[in-house]
Structure 1
Amino acid sequence: MVEVTGTEQRAAWQRKTLPPVELVRPGLWSIPVPMTGSPLRYVLVYALALPDGVALVDAGWPTDDAWTALVDGLAACGYALTDVRAVLVTHWHADHHGLAGSVREASGAWIGMHALDAAAIKGRSDPGAFVSNISAWVRNRGGTDADVAETVGSVEDAARRFRSLAEPDRLIEDGERPLEGIRAVWTPGHTAGHLCFYDEERRLLLSGDHVLPRISPNITLHPGQTADPLGDFLESLTRTGELEADEVLPAHEYRFAGLRDRVAALHAHHADRLAEVTRLVAAEPGATTWELAERLTWSRPWSQVQGMIRRSAVGETYAHLEHLARRGAVRRSDGDVDQWRLA
């Protein structure tokens, strides 16, 4: 059974307010950092006491209000920004990695992340190329020029996002202990280099976006990828469920207990999703990825799934189709634009 342990966090989530800074265990705090304009509302940054300062797990969204919340949150824990010695990044997305470079500039802290996510940052160094690649990706999925205009954004938008993506000082591999008592667990899927951090003595899992209490992380097959991110996610999810964790500290929403049951629920969710996608392909042979995404069940009507969230929904649909193709259940017709049929 999944049991909510972050009761104040869940109450704040239900009120649509920011939760308080909390002492989770002696020497371990959660600091909510706002994500203005995002349905996720905030990211939970974790601060771990060190003999000579403090380490952060993730850093927050690269905005002024997020920066203020991070600085004030550290002060509530008894630390100044200059006390930060390390930033362990679960994955490269801006709500987690965005402020890491600014923290390093202010404190001299080192930044650590998995090598595959470090490579993803380098792959986004050219905003113009990114916009061109993602526009072609949208069209290949069956999107129109109007879909490109709605879901891709401008070169200027991309440049602003990419300026916040600081390259790491250290690469953290699976099984490594970047801090005493903290073991890195490589959990690909949401990103290729996603890391969880396992506190072995206190039996705590800092799960990033890999295991969340209420929703499944977005699993997208990005432009240029030829892998099976959903397959990677399901495999790493199984390994995560084998950890002896009494409590899960996710990057969004609220803390909870019952890791194995939550892992089982996520497996069941994706099994249902794969079955739904297969039924749609059978009912509409030759449909594009975009058309199939429009017909899938989402948490809100498709007309309300807009902008980058719509692109993420199409990417998630694409990841499920690719996983089914690798299992021999469906096949993609030749051509630039996706067309799917049962194999």
Structure 2
Amino acid sequence: MDDSTQRDPVAVGSQVSRLDFDIEWPPKHAAAYLIEEPAPILIDTGDPGDRAETTIREGLAASGYDPADIEAVVVTHPHSDHIGQVPLLREAGAAVYAPRPVLEQLERDPDDLAAGVREIGRSTGYHGEAIDRAVEQAQSSLRRNRRLLAPEAAVPFEFDEPFSVAGREFEPIHTPGHQIHHASVATDLNGERVLFSGDALIESFRPGAIHVGIDYGAYDAVEAFHRAMDRLEERDFHRVFPGHGPVFTDYRGAIETTRSSLETLTGEVLEAVTAVGPAPPTELTRHRVGETRHPAQLLDTLGALGTLEERGRVEYEDRDGVRYYSFRKASP
């Protein structure tokens, strides 16, 4: 984007500034938000790298700040395009707040992670070098995220328990699906109830049901996303500041669109099972999307299969650790 810092026309007065970071994968940008008050607070921090550091320094400067002025950083979830500049802010003196389960996840034994990736990767139809690559990618991500969001240096907060940052109260809402320990954080700004939704609720598209990646729990992703929408539906917000896409005010409409997208995904996977089953998830994904370009496409399939199994629409046969899914016919 031409301007790394945008004051969105629907932002609440001048109290929130948006910083947009260019990233290499879809949707090609990520957003962080600066709450401008005597003790400034940053929600998420963009991606790692020199270009992102320049973005954050220039973005803060446009509002009259530098990194040392930031009182605190609040992290919605531990994906690299949201925690990339945490070290910069932490070293400049900001306190870093993150969900307690996220910090616990970062302390996971790499061998346990490898076991989960191997078992679930095998179940999808991966084998040989493909599984080895998945293990290395998962362990590499764990090492990177542990370095960026150092758990021993962060302040944990609990889901659904309000916490205070520099005199401002936030309500953290557990919104899994895109990421298992994702927090959307609510607060009051200029008489409005607003939500910093991270990647849980975006008006222009549904984020991938990444949840845990290829690991234990991957087949729970779509159901988790539905639970997140259930929790959000219990609340009302005037305005939403998402991690991608524009700031928006049609909160209920975005929930409805997200639910509709999840149901469309589930229907597409059921059609694939009906057309080519019995088949493993990798083959079902190829039938659904053609060439698989992004891991999120396979992860969407896994989450939808878990939902379809829970609804009694599909079943699978385990063949040497690989799941072969077929349509479950109704009992006579």
Alignment TM-score > 0.5, same fold: yes
Give the superposition deviation at 1:263.
1.0
Answering whether residue 120 of structure 2 is matched by residue 95 of structure 1, we say no
Corresponding residue of 1:110: 95
Give the superposition deviation at 1:146.
5.8
Q: Any unmatched runs of 5+ in structure 2?
A: none
Give the superposition deviation at 1:194.
0.8
Q: 2 CA distance for matches of 1:155 and 1:173?
A: 25
Corresponding residue of 2:183: 195
Tell me if the contact between 1:94 and 1:165 (Cα under 8 Å) persists in the aligned partners: no
After superposition, give the CA deviation of every residue in 1:23-56 in whole Å (9 maximum; x if it has no partner): 6333221111232x222222111111343x3111
Corresponding residue of 1:312: 296
Q: Normalization by structure 1: what TM-score?
A: 0.82
Q: 2 CA distance for matches of 1:60 and 1:216?
A: 19
Q: Secondary structure at the match of 2:235?
A: coil
- Indicate which of 8, 18, 28 corresponds to 1:41: 28
Q: Any unmatched runs of 5+ in structure 1?
A: 1-11
Corresponding residue of 1:9: none
Corresponding residue of 2:194: 204
Tell me if the contact between 1:285 and 1:341 (Cα under 8 Å) persists in the aligned partners: yes
Corresponding residue of 1:261: 253
Corresponding residue of 1:340: 325
Q: 1 CA distance for matches of 2:50 and 2:103?
A: 24
Answering whether residue 15 of structure 2 is matched by residue 32 of structure 1, we say no
Give the superposition deviation at 1:216.
0.8
Q: Secondary structure at the match of 1:256?
A: coil
Residue identity in the other structure for 1:211: L
Task: Say if 1:227 and 1:156 are closer, same or farther in 2 by CA, change over 3 A.
Answer: closer
Residue identity in the other structure for 1:324: L
Answering whether residue 42 of structure 2 is matched by residue 59 of structure 1, we say no
Corresponding residue of 2:224: 232
Q: 1 CA distance for matches of 2:149 and 2:98?
A: 12
- Indicate which of 46, 50, 61 corresponds to 1:75: 61
Q: 2 CA distance for matches of 1:155 and 1:227?
A: 17
Tell me if the contact between 1:203 and 1:247 (Cα under 8 Å) persists in the aligned partners: yes
Residue identity in the other structure for 1:113: A
- Indicate which of 213, 236, 239 corresponds to 1:247: 239
Q: 2 CA distance for matches of 1:259 and 1:278?
A: 29
Q: 2 CA distance for matches of 1:295 and 1:208?
A: 31
Tell me if the contact between 1:247 and 1:256 (Cα under 8 Å) persists in the aligned partners: yes
Residue identity in the other structure for 2:262: H
Q: 1 CA distance for matches of 2:131 and 2:27?
A: 24
Tell me if the contact between 1:209 and 1:251 (Cα under 8 Å) persists in the aligned partners: yes
Give the superposition deviation at 1:237.
1.0
Answering whether residue 156 of structure 2 is matched by residue 170 of structure 1, we say yes
Answering whether residue 270 of structure 2 is matched by residue 287 of structure 1, we say no
Q: Secondary structure at the match of 1:294?
A: helix
Give the superposition deviation at 1:65.
0.9
Q: Secondary structure at the match of 1:315?
A: helix
Residue identity in the other structure for 1:196: S
Give the superposition deviation at 1:67.
1.1
Q: 1 CA distance for matches of 2:137 and 2:242?
A: 31
Tell me if the contact between 2:4 and 2:58 (Cα under 8 Å) persists in the aligned partners: no
Tell me if the contact between 2:172 and 2:183 (Cα under 8 Å) persists in the aligned partners: yes
Q: 1 CA distance for matches of 2:182 and 2:197?
A: 9
Tell me if the contact between 1:178 and 1:184 (Cα under 8 Å) persists in the aligned partners: no
Q: 2 CA distance for matches of 1:156 and 1:281?
A: 31
Tell me if the contact between 1:248 and 1:256 (Cα under 8 Å) persists in the aligned partners: yes
Aligned length: 315
Q: 2 CA distance for matches of 1:208 and 1:85?
A: 20
Give the superposition deviation at 1:150.
7.0
Tell me if the contact between 1:117 and 1:191 (Cα under 8 Å) persists in the aligned partners: no
Q: Secondary structure at the match of 2:73?
A: strand
Q: 1 CA distance for matches of 2:243 and 2:249?
A: 15
Residue identity in the other structure for 1:229: A
Q: Normalization by structure 2: what TM-score?
A: 0.85
Residue identity in the other structure for 1:260: R
Tell me if the contact between 2:171 and 2:185 (Cα under 8 Å) persists in the aligned partners: yes
Q: 1 CA distance for matches of 2:309 and 2:216?
A: 18
Give the superposition deviation at 1:205.
1.6
Greater RCO (CA < 8 Å, at least 6 residues apart): 1
RMSD (CA atoms):
2.6
Task: Say if 1:21 and 1:226 are closer, same or farther in 2 by CA, change over 3 A.
Answer: closer
Give the superposition deviation at 1:147.
4.2
